């Protein structure tokens, strides 16, 4: 080893006793240098004719192995500067990853999901480095990237204070300015364990010990900090321009209550300060729109200790819910659906036949009736199978579009419960379509149009994902391929853009998921279309074909709202409680200036009620200014004030949420205006 440079730059005359991980040549870790040298030597012996297919289907040819970063540079220097990671033949790879054969390569920037994750994973390491600089005795656990940010778990005697968080954030910004190169190296298992034992990092040692024997054990080093990590990471700390630590929480090591409670620091990061500022503004706006807060203020729903995860809908909430369901029934009738209802509790045999007992039992509530196992339904589909079987069906009957507003129950852990967004019982706007294979494309296209119309009605934009076969699934490869191709072909023939979400399908079939975007830019997964060939087989569903033979129908499961409760929560936050007139639980509030005009206020309210308008009257002995403020806080679309001048000329003084004070008007004109808004389901 005497020919290698030592760590201080001098020539090493004696054997370098440091681990391979700490030996460098020209600033590059020895293991990485050896790997690159081997690759180059191999290529010199056998020149490559390597074809790289980029995501726009452009093919670039190279005569030697290239790192993902070098491939990015060959496209443009600007792309290389913004590159965060790469996807090579469908797998996310580090920018340092060397491609040495024909491959499909995508360069991921912060605009791509894989790029965001690499960017924020790097930020979590900057956080850990800052903590170790300021609090050397703190032990490191894990620090992944998550949706909208990252976190890192630390073993610290006392939880981090807000003041400590500020100091850590300041230290992180120093590390960014230091422009520390981030270097990757690998170690054999025994040396990796020793490496972390010497650094007194017991959580890292445990993680290494739990890795499979043949696992590649990699580390990332930036300046004075090294962490066990599979990556990917950025090339330098300088890219992380904007950082914000947002909160501290407790978290059990590996999520088990039997383990020690650690201190988890959450944060987020962006390439530009303006992007971070926009995100923080959105978070503040989201707090104002929190459906739990507004649900209480507007008296829509409540969650009680007597039923955690089981929402109670109050009168105003029931008006909102029933209005949504009336709309659902209207559009489904127009689209050729029939409505059914199936029982909430059914026996074990049914759930075993459907596959739920095997694949979903942990999320189901069970009971025993007459010494027989029963389950409370987590889904409506098995009941729909039984309804289909009540009659003989011909190909002429198909497609059968069968809708159900079904109450389902699913066991959720208490820590996952969140207002109406994650509950243990909810109404699902299910529908099951039974059809011939030839009808697949047209039926999926029809469902897409229906869901598109629903989301446009509420002012949502959305994007679509095609979710493919998960590991825990049932059915043959051939069935899954046919079903997946059926969904893909329907999307492509309708010229609909989509992304593929590998392995996120239902256990019985692939699906199309609709991710809608609300008024402040957040996304929610609501609508779904699932193509299923398994349940018709398991339930032995049949129809008589044109030639008289018996055949299996193909089945679509689909929802528009998804969970009605969750959709209401999304609507509350999307509209900030200011529902369009057609949805508003109270559409008009009538306010008499004083008790003298209570009779006239009642006369006005009665006419509104007779016209089908939802109206309330505030007869409290309060000043009119106070009553107007109260009505505005209730987000009522229209406020009618009546006093002496209004009564004299048989008119009303109108205030609208949109235009403010509008002056005196004929009540008939107000009624016509509101009725038109309701009829057209206009958005404000």
User: Catalytic residue positions?
Assistant: 381, 410, 428, 430, 432, 511, 557
**CB burial readout 425-446, b (16+ within 10 A) else e:** bbbbbbbbbbbbeebbeebbeb
Token pair, residue 325, equals 């369901």
In 3D space, the residue among 121, 115, 222 whose CA is nearest the CA of residue 175 turns out to be 222
CB-based contact 99:50 (threshold 8 Å): yes
Q: What is the number of H-type helices and E-type strands within the chain?
A: 21, 37
Report the Cα 114 to chain-centroid distance in Å.
15
Q: Quote the longest CA-to-CA distance of the chain.
A: 108
Query: Cβ contacts of residue 209 below 8 Å, gap of 6+?
Result: 193
Please tell me whether the peptide bond between 399 and the residue prior to it is cis, using omega within 30 degrees of 0: yes
Buried-exposed string 630-652: b where 16+ CB fall within 10 A, e elsewhere: bbeebbbbbbbbbbeebbeeebb
Q: What are phi and psi of 407, to 5 degrees?
A: -80, 120
Q: Is the peptide bond before 232 cis (omega within 30 degrees of 0)?
A: yes
The DSSP-derived string for 173-223 is HHHHHTT-BEEEEE--HHHHHHHHHHTT-HHHHHHHHTS-TT---EEEEET
CA 257 from chain centre, in angstroms, equals: 26
Mapping DSSP onto H, E and C, the string for 447-476 reads HHHHHHHHHHHCCCEEEEEEECCCCCCCCC
Q: Answer yes or no: are the C-beta atoms of 245 and 165 closer than 8 Å.
A: yes
Measured distance CA(519)–CA(460) in Å, rounded: 8
Nearest Cα to Cα of residue 598 among 659, 642, 541 = 642
41 vs 21: CA distance, rounded Å = 22
Do residues 556 and 384 touch, judged by C-beta distance below 8 A? no
**DSSP calls for 364-380:** -EEEEETTEEEEE-S-S
Residue located via tokens 């019982």? 425
Report H helices in 431-554.
440-457, 477-493, 534-538
């Amino acid at each position: 080893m005497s020919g290698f440079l030592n760590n201080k730059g001098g020539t090493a005359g004696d054997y370098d006793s440091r681990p391979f991980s700490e030996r460098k040549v020209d600033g590059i870790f020895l293991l990485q240098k050896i790997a690159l040298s081997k690759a180059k030597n191999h290529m010199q012996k056998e020149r490559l004719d390597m074809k790289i297919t980029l995501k726009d289907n452009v093919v670039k040819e190279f005569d030697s192995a290239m790192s993902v970063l070098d491939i990015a540079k060959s496209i443009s220097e600007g792309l290389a500067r913004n590159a965060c990671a790469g996807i090579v033949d469908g797998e996310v790879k580090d920018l340092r990853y060397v491609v040495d054969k024909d491959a499909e390569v995508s360069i991921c920037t912060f605009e791509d999901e894989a790029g965001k994750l690499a960017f924020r994973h790097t930020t979590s390491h900057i956080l850990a480095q800052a903590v170790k600089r300021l609090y050397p005795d703190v032990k490191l656990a894990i620090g992944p990237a998550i949706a909208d940010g990252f976190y890192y778990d630390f073993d610290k005697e006392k939880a981090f204070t807000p003041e400590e968080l500020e100091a850590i954030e300041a230290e992180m910004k120093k590390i960014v300015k230091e422009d520390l190169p981030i270097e990757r190296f690998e170690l054999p298992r025994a040396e990796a364990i020793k490496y972390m034992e010497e650094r007194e990092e017991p959580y890292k040692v445990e993680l290494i010990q739990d890795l499979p024997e043949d696992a590649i054990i990699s580390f990332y080093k930036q300046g004075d900090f090294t962490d066990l990590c599979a990556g990917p990471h950025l090339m330098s700390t300088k890219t992380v321009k904007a950082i914000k630590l947002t909160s501290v929480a407790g978290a059990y090591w590996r999520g088990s209550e039997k383990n020690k409670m650690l201190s988890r620091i959450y944060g987020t990061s962006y390439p530009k300060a303006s992007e971070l500022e926009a995100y923080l503004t959105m978070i503040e706006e989201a707090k104002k729109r929190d459906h739990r807060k507004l649900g209480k203020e507007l008296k829509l729903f409540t969650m009680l200790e007597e039923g955690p995860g089981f929402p109670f809908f109050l009168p105003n909430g029931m008006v909102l819910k029933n209005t949504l369901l009336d709309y659902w029934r209207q559009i489904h009738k127009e689209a050729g659906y029939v409505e059914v209802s199936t029982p909430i509790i059914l026996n074990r045999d049914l759930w075993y036949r459907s596959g739920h007992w095997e694949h979903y039992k942990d999320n189901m509530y069970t009971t025993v009736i007459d010494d027989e196992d029963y389950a409370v339904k987590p889904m409506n589909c098995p009941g729909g199978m039984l309804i289909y079987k009540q009659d003989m069906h011909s190909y002429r009957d198909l497609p059968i579009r069968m809708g159900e507003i079904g109450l389902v129950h699913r066991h959720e852990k208490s820590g996952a419960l969140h207002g109406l967004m994650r509950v243990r019982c909810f109404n699902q706007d299910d529908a099951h379509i039974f059809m011939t294979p030839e009808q697949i494309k047209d039926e999926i296209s029809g469902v897409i149009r229906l869901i598109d119309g629903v989301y446009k009605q509420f002012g949502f934009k959305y994007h679509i994902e095609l979710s493919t076969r998960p590991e825990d699934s049932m059915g043959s490869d051939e069935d899954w391929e046919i079903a997946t191709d059926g969904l893909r072909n329907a999307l492509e023939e309708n010229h609909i853009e989509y992304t593929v979400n590998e392995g996120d399908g239902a256990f019985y079939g692939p699906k199309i998921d609709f991710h809608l975007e609300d008024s402040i830019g957040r996304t929610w997964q609501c609508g779904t279309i699932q193509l299923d060939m398994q349940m018709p087989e398991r339930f032995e569903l049949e129809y008589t074909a044109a030639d008289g033979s018996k055949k299996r129908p193909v089945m679509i499961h689909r929802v528009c709202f998804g969970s009605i409760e969750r959709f209401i929560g999304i609507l509350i936050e999307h509209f900030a409680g200011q529902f369009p007139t057609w949805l508003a639980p109270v559409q008009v509030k009538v306010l008499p200036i004083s008790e003298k005009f209570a009779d006239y206020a009642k006369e006005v309210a009665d006419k509104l009620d007779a016209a089908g308008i939802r109206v309330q009257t505030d007869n409290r002995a309060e000043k009119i200014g106070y009553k107007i403020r109260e009505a505005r806080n209730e987000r009522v679309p229209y406020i009618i004030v009546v006093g002496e001048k209004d009564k004299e000329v048989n008119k009303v003084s109108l205030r609208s949420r949109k235009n403010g004070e509008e002056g005196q008007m004929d009540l008939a004109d107000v009624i016509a205006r509101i009725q038109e808004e309701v009829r057209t389901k206009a958005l404000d």
